[in-house]
Amino acid sequence: MFRIIKFLMGLVSLAVFVWFGANVPLGSRTLFEHLQAIGRTRETQDLLEGTRQSAKPLVDGVRKRLGGATATNETTGSVKAAADAGARPDDEISETDRQRLRKMLGSGHASR
Average pLDDT over residues 103-112: 67
Those residues whose C-beta lies under 8 Å from the C-beta of residue 72, and which sit 6 or more positions away, are: 63, 78, 79
Compute the distance between CA of residue 94 and CA of residue 102 in angstroms, rounded to an integer.
Answer: 12
Give residue 27's region: left, alpha or beta (phi > 0; psi -120 to 50): left
Tell me what pLDDT residue 103 has: 87
pTM confidence score: 0.47
Mean pLDDT of the chain: 82
DSSP codes of every residue in 72-102? E-TTT--EEE-TTTTPPPS----HHHHHHHH
Residues 90-104 pLDDT 10s: 677 888 888 888 888
Domain spans in the chain, listed from the N-terminal domain onward: 2-80
Tell me what pLDDT residue 82 has: 52
